[in-house]
Structure 1
Amino acid sequence: MRLFVLLSRFPYPLEKGDKLRAFHQLRILSKHHEVFLCALHENDLEQHWIEEVEQYCSELQTIRISRFNQIVNLGFSLLGNEPFQVAYFYQKAAQKEVLACIEKWKPDAIYCQLLRTAKYVESLNDFPKIIDFQDAFSKGIERRLETDSWYWKPILNSELKRLNHYEEKVFKTFDHCTIISEQDRNQLPFTQRNEVTIVRNGVELDDFSPSSESKSVDVLFAGNMGYPPNVEGAVFLANEVMPLVIKQIPEAKLMLAGARPDQKVKELAGGYTEVTGWVDDMRDCYAKAKVFVAPMMIGTGLQNKLLEAMAMRIPCVTSTLANNALHAKENEEILIAETAEEYANHILELLDNSSKSEQIATAGHNLVTEHFSWEGTTKPLLNILAPAP
């Protein structure tokens, strides 16, 4: 099949969850179909990034979108009812290029990632269209309303109403829709949500494997440190959890690793906390860690960071919210916490009890290797594109 893929970001480097998901799906899809990729981007692309991606594409077209036009579109969007993120990523000039690519490449089907790309192809009816919701964005905004500063609430309230309408509109416009977990599917704001197909995230098991490196970091939290749920988790971990750990283990160290750290995260650096910023190879951070903690209190989806840490046989502690998408067995494959005291107690137990640490790490590793390879998790998408007879 000739498959046209439309992305709102160039899928490399892999510092964001949507880019990681897109890159590995492209890799798997290319083994079964001719992939024609059209990727929007806002910044300059390095040649080696392009080379990493084009090996999986029959054709690759990048389309730069104007930052000035993004700001103008956001202003005009206040007068309409489409989500702000759709207005931010949609540009008429870019759509002309997208449609020109479709006309040139003559695909058999179209696969879009994220709601923000839907407008580019919503009027096309000559091809089967699939869209990856990835997360329940409306639910993510709803959770942010509980935690963000008061001055963001009018904007978030408006975006929530727009997303509730738009997610259902997109569902009706596309032939097939996918999403990352049952938890996210159940939170979609329309009654036919069970018709959305679950396509989980995975982990590249050849890249993320146990390391024999000596452990110099007691607690690690990794991810895009500019993403609001990660920012909130990092602040909570550094300011509320780690002081309780330090009382028992004064020399304990925390590493917050990931690109684009928010100012709130940067201000945590010092004392027992290291803020790395961009890391060339996140496996180096995982390899040093004794315990991985993902204190997710808001946000949606299946956390790549947990899959990667578990694949490297690191014992993990996370929230019920994050584990709802992972389905790891509590106290066997993962430890679950909600309060600062619970997180601290689990961290201390894993640091003090090598037997418990090894048991959780091994069981978590086995879970991921058995159920979360990208080849396995992408099968439902392949089935949509080529249903079994």
Structure 2
Amino acid sequence: MKTLILTNRVPFPPNSGYPIVVYNTIKGLLNLGVDITLFSINTSKHRIDVDDIYDPVFEKIEFHSFSIDTEVNVWGALLNIFSNQSYNVSRFFDEDAGRLLEDILKENEFDIIQFEGLFVVPYLDTVKANSNAKIIYRAHNIEFDVWERIAMREQFTPRRRYLQFLARRLKHYETEQLNRFHQVFAISEPDRQHILKFGCQAPLDVFPVALDFEKYIIDQTKTSFPTLFHLGAMDWRPNKEGLEWFLDEIWPDIEKLNSELRFYIAGKSMQRQFFEYDSENLVVEGEIFDAIEFINSKAIMIVPLLSSSGMRVKIIEGMAMRKCIIATSMAAEGISYEHGKDILIANTADEFYRSILQCITNPKKWREIGDNARKTVERDHDIHAISKRMLDIYHKLISA
């Protein structure tokens, strides 16, 4: 089985949501004997020096990448208004990258070509013109839905209207592409239901985040209590907005509960405003070297997202590390959970306050929820089971 995977960023190292999903997909398929070629857009925002990649998974694949500056600029955004293209997506297309992909397709005969996310779909015409492979689109989330929710929360009217414009363009592009594939993979059941409503007629299956549980080693002797923590990239707007809301509306009351309580926030692109926040009990660590070690060392995970789509990989990782997660229902969307058993859902300041109070006054409660969380993700997110099911669909497509 010869497979080509297209990604909108280099998934090495697997240190955030999208790279983790892609990395584990590749790792699981390799373990089943699939021959993998990876073509990645190496964006300016997430640029990786390929020569610095040292990873056993990387050594087992054929790898190609092309560097593109995808940064938003005022002139490009203005010109785009007068085109019929989605500015969110068009920034990822480059004619030279298309020619490199064309050469790869002419030199290889692939059985399956898998597009990991919407931002590599602009290369679909190149693939169709140069390959007879079965083509799969994997929706990591409903992209336009994220932008619609962000626009709804924007207070500045001109910016809100422009965000709404971007969301409409993105929705038109996203829904228009679905039926150009032989197969569509959704990241969660709610996303599958949304995609069906968009008129998707291609076969549609759910493939959630897969984890290799050998990586998630728990050492509770290194876990400090009482501690809260938040882990997420601050260059992703929903993370920034959610954390701002929590710090402004909830944390001032929470830190009064216990003088020893500490709230740790970490993630790349941490902005100055968080370092300057007036709270002695808030610890801002910025980008960290080892996310698993950081998660292991803290007790209760806070995920206050107010706009999102898809599935939050960091929640799945937190559950794998037996953490008690306190999250909005939007943050936990797509995860098979039972409120009060393997996660705590809080959508208001009062609900967050009561959930945190419950956990820090009753340590047995958060440990119990963490233990149940681990069982839940072992059931639903095992890399071996998910990879086997994906390969079964590959074989079904090829034999059709």
Same topology, TM > 0.5: yes
Question: Counterpart in 2 of 1:38?
Answer: 39
User: Structure 1: where are the runs of 5+ without partners?
Assistant: none
User: In the alignment, is residue 56 of structure 1 matched against residue 89 of structure 2?
Assistant: no
Of residues 169, 174, 178 in structure 1, which corresponds to 2:181?
174
> 1:294/1:378 Cα in 2 relative to 1: closer, same or farther (>3 Å)?
farther
> What is the aligned partner in structure 2 of residue 107 from structure 1?
110
Tell me whether 1:139 sits opposite 2:140 in the alignment.
Answer: no
CA distance in 1, matches of 2:153, 2:169: 20
Q: 1:319 to 1:47 in 2, by over 3 A?
A: same
Whole-Å Cα distance in 1 between the matches of residues 294 and 378 of structure 2? 20
Give the corresponding residue for 2:321.
312
Decide whether aligned partners of structure 1 residues 181 and 122 sit closer, same or farther in structure 2, where only a CA change above 3 A counts: same
Is residue 74–residue 87 contact of structure 1 (8 Å, CA) maintained in 2?
A: no
**Structure 1 counterpart SS, 2:285:** strand
**SS of residue matched to 1:122:** helix
Aligned to 1:28: 28
Q: Helix, strand or coil for the counterpart of 1:231?
A: helix
Q: Aligned partners of 1:90 and 1:259: how far apart in 2? A: 26
Please state how far the C-alpha of 1:217 moved relative to its aligned partner: 5.9
Aligned partners of 1:38, 1:10: CA distance in 2, in Å?
A: 9
Which of 309, 312, 321 in structure 2 is aligned with 1:303?
312
State the distance in 1 between where 2:380 and 2:8 align: 28
* Cα distance, 1:72 vs structure 2: 6.9
* Equivalent residue number for residue 81 of structure 2: 78
Given that 2:226 and 2:360 are in contact with CA atoms closer than 8 Å, whether structure 1 keeps it comes out as no
For 1:268, give the aligned amino acid. Y
CA displacement, residues 149-203 of structure 1 (integer Å, 9 cap, x when unaligned)? 4243233212211122112221121111112112222334613379432110122
Following superposition, the deviation at residue 143 of structure 1 comes to 0.7
CA offset at residue 106 of structure 1?
Answer: 2.3
Alignment-derived partner of residue 199 in structure 2: 191
Kindly indicate whether the alpha-carbon contact (under 8 Å) linking 1:168 and 1:190 is maintained by their aligned counterparts in 2: yes
Residue of structure 2 in register with 1:159 after alignment? 166
Q: Distance in 2 between matches of 1:128 and 1:185?
A: 20
Residue number in structure 1 paired with 2:369: 360
Cα deviation for residue 36 of structure 1 reads 0.9
In 1, Cα distance between the equivalents of 2:384 and 2:277?
A: 38
AA aligned to 2:258 is I
Cα deviations by residue, 1:187-244 (Å, 9 ceiling, x for unpaired): 3461337943211012231111322214156101112122111112211222222222
Q: Conserved in 2, the CA contact under 8 Å of 1:199 and 1:378?
A: no
Amino acid at match of 1:134: H
- Deviation at residue 103 of structure 1 after TM alignment: 1.1
Aligned counterpart, 1:257 = 266
Matched, 1:119 2:127: no
Cross-structure match for 1:129: 135
8 Å contact kept, 2:179–2:200 = no
CA contact (8 A) 2:184 2:202 kept: no
SS in 1 for 2:334: helix
Alignment CA distance shift 1:357-1:22 (3 Å):
same
Q: Give the whole-Å Cα distance in 2 for the aligned partners of 1:378 and 1:268.
A: 44
Any conservation in 2 of the 1:335–1:346 contact (CA below 8 Å)? yes
- Identical-residue share of aligned pairs (%): 20
CA distance in 1, matches of 2:161, 2:72: 23
SS in 1 for 2:260: coil
| Contact 1:219–1:292 under 8 Å retained in 2 | yes
Measured against aligned partners, the alpha-carbon deviations of 1:89-116 in whole angstroms (never above 9, x if no partner) come to 1011111111111111221221111111
Q: Distance in 2 between matches of 1:385 and 1:70?
A: 40
Gaps spanning 5+ residues in structure 2: where?
none
SS, match of residue 317 in structure 1? strand
TM-score, with length taken from structure 2? 0.90
> Structure 2: how far apart are the matches of 1:84 and 1:321?
26
With 195-204 and 128-137 compared, the bigger mean Cα shift is at 195-204
| 1:9 to partner: Cα distance | 0.4
Q: Output the amino acid matched with 1:56.
A: K
After the TM superposition, which residues 213-362 of structure 1 pair with which residues of structure 2 at under 5 Å, given as runs? Answer: 213-215=222-224, 218-268=227-277, 270-362=279-371
CA deviation after TM superposition for structure 1 residue 249, in Å = 1.2
Aligned-pair Cα RMSD in Å:
2.4
Match 2:154 to one of 148, 158, 164: 148
Alpha-carbon distance in structure 2 between the residues aligned to 1:262 and 1:78: 30
Q: Is the 8 A contact 1:221 1:294 kept in 2?
A: yes
SS at match of 1:154: helix
For residues 52-78 of structure 1, the C-alpha deviation after alignment (integer angstroms, 9 at most, x for no partner) is: 552231x11111124589887655432
Quickly say closer, same or farther: Cα 1:258–1:38, change in 2 above 3 A.
same
